[in-house]
Amino acid sequence: MTDRHTRRTLILLTVLAMVGLLQLTITASTESAATDAIGGASGGARAQPQQAAQDEFVPIGELPPEEQLPAAPLLVTAYAFVWVALIGYLWSIWRRVGRVEIELAEVGRRLRKAQER
Amino acid sequence: MLNRLFMPLLVTGGLLFASAPFMIARAPYESTMGLIQKVFYFHVPSAMVMFASAFVCGIASAMFLFGKRRGSDMVAAAAAELTVVFGVIVLVTGPIWARKAWGVWWQWDARLTSSLILWMIFVAYLLLRRFGGYGSEKLAAGVALFGMANVPFVYWSVNVWRTLHPKTTVVPSLGPGMRDAFWWCVVAFVALYVALLAARVRLERGRLSLEELYLALDE
């Protein structure tokens, strides 16, 4: 029981560390991009934290060259986290169902033996 | 019925989810936020599923409390866990977006704070179920009703209070390119949610059967 608890704690800490590392990686990769309207908006947000909330998204036809960041890093990070979370959860359900079914079979056997006696 | 739906929904949701990046990559960039806005296509569907799951949990809890239906309690427990899981997704993808768009990971504004509180309410539900002992199902059901009642406040918070978070008018005003990718992701998340709910309810059913067998063994 102690070993399992330790293993779970280690897994949890590893996952948290990976998430933190991913977030740092995103920050590093996005802050190294050239300054542009996004940078201006971020800077604007820092300078004017009270700006009004957006009430619609307006698509842009063409980005200037300095804004042409590859979609992959940010999208992959968010996408990867979502995949990891959902697959991890599905795996945890599958493991728990497996354990319950094993225990069900065992207790069923014991009950049948007890009833035969 | 949920058991039979599990595999088709899992496969459908998985395929939709796997193809979502192509839809998202084709969607146009947003004019003020640019690339980072594309986190929207996972962040908002996760939030929608989180809210829906909170409602499922609340309604099932009400049916358990007032109708005394054991099956409803199983669905409530399953939905509460899924609310927490999708809440984690929302609370991680949101700050990733915020760091770029607002320059900070987190703001204690109405929408973010109320979402965090909603998530914590359902964590409390799970802790109560896990450590509350005998009779904790009814207490937890009460907590779930409270959590469900919070959802409209969380949703409308951006319209009522002054906040950095985009308002609820964003989704209805999406252009065609953005709208297709968004609703594709919503369908993918909903399909995955129902599949996971089916699997989790199966686990609860197994645990209940185990409990009954142990009781029979004691007798």
Q: Does B1 touch chain A (CB under 8 A)?
A: no
CA–CA separation, B1 and B21 (whole Å): 31
The residue among B164 and A21 whose pLDDT is bigger is B164
Q: Does A107 touch chain B (CB under 8 A)?
A: yes
Q: What is the pLDDT of residue B135?
A: 87
Q: What is the pLDDT of residue A33?
A: 43
- B43·A111 Cβ contact <8 A: no
Q: What is the pLDDT of residues B130-139, one digit of tens each?
A: 999 888 999 9
Q: What are the φ/ψ torsions at residue A59 (nearest 5 degrees)?
A: -70, 150
Q: What is the pLDDT of residue B114?
A: 96
Q: What is the pLDDT of residue A72?
A: 58
Name the residue in chain B with its Cα closest to that of A108: B213
- B199·A74 Cβ contact <8 A: no
Residues of A in contact with B10 (CB under 8 A): 90
Range B176-208 burial, b when 16+ CB lie within 10 A, else e: eebeebbebbbbbbbbbbbbbbbbbbbbbbbbe
Q: What is the pLDDT of residues B32-45, one digit of tens each?
A: 887 788 899 999 99
- B36·A74 Cβ contact <8 A: yes
Q: Does A56 touch chain B (CB under 8 A)?
A: yes
First to last CA, chain A: 33
Give the residue among A93, A53, A7 at the shortest CA–CA distance from B102.
Answer: A53
Contacts within 8 Å (CB) and 24+ apart, B3-8: B3/B198, B3/B202, B5/B194, B5/B195, B5/B198, B6/B195, B6/B198, B6/B199, B6/B202, B7/B195
Give the helix, strand, coil percentages of chain B, each rounded to 5.
80, 0, 15
Does position B148 have pLDDT exceeding 90, yes or no?
Answer: yes
Q: Which residues pair with B30 in a beta bridge?
A: A59, B34
| CA distance to partner chain B, nearest, from residue A77 (Å) | 9
Q: Which residues pair with B29 in a beta bridge?
A: A60
Q: What are the φ/ψ torsions at residue A62 (nearest 5 degrees)?
A: -150, 135
Q: What is the pLDDT of residue B217?
A: 85
Q: Around Cβ B137, how many Cβ atoms within 10 Å?
A: 18
ipTM of this predicted structure:
0.89
Q: Name the DSSP class of B38.
A: G
Q: What is the mean pLDDT of residues B180-206?
A: 94
**What is the residue type of A41?**
A
Q: What is the mean pLDDT of residues B16-37?
A: 86
CA–CA separation, B192 and B73 (whole Å): 21
Q: What is the percentage of chain B residues whose pLDDT exceeds 90?
A: 66
Select from A8, A50, A83, A89 the residue whose CB has the most chain B CBs within 10 Å, as the one to mutate to test that interface.
A89
Q: What is the pLDDT of residue A35?
A: 39
Q: Does A29 touch chain B (CB under 8 A)?
A: no
Give the residue among B113, B114, B57 at the shortest CA–CA distance from B85.
Answer: B57
Give the residue among B170, B147, B145 at the shortest CA–CA distance from B83.
Answer: B147
| CA distance to partner chain A, nearest, from residue B92 (Å) | 8
Q: What is the pLDDT of residue A34?
A: 39
The residue among B164 and B80 whose pLDDT is bigger is B80
Residues of A in contact with B87 (CB under 8 A): none
Q: What residues contact B218, with CB distance under 8 A and at least 6 apart?
A: none
Q: Where would I find the beta strands (DSSP E) of chain B?
A: 29-30
Q: Is the dihedral of CA B82, B87, B90, B96 positive or negative?
A: negative
The total number of residues shown for chain B amounts to 219
Helix (H) or strand (E) holding A25: helix A2-31
Q: What is the pLDDT of residue B129?
A: 94
Number of A/B CB contacts below 8 angstroms equals 167
The residue among A37 and B216 whose pLDDT is bigger is B216
Q: Are A5 and A13 within 8 A, CB to CB?
A: no
Ranges of residues in chain A with a pLDDT under 50 are: 1-2, 23-25, 27-48, 69, 71
pLDDT band, very low/low/confident/very high, at B218 (cuts 50, 70, 90): confident
Tokens for B94?
Answer: 């949101």
Q: What is the pLDDT of residues A79-109, one digit of tens each?
A: 889 989 999 999 999 999 999 999 999 999 9
- B34·A69 Cβ contact <8 A: yes
| CA distance to partner chain B, nearest, from residue A41 (Å) | 7
SS3 for B30? Answer: strand
Give the residue among B1, B24, B20 at the shortest CA–CA distance from B187.
Answer: B20
| CA distance to partner chain B, nearest, from residue A6 (Å) | 19
The residue among B12 and A58 whose pLDDT is bigger is B12
Q: What is the pLDDT of residue A30?
A: 45
Q: Is B172 exposed, middle or buried (0-12, 13-18, 19+ CB in 10 A)?
A: exposed
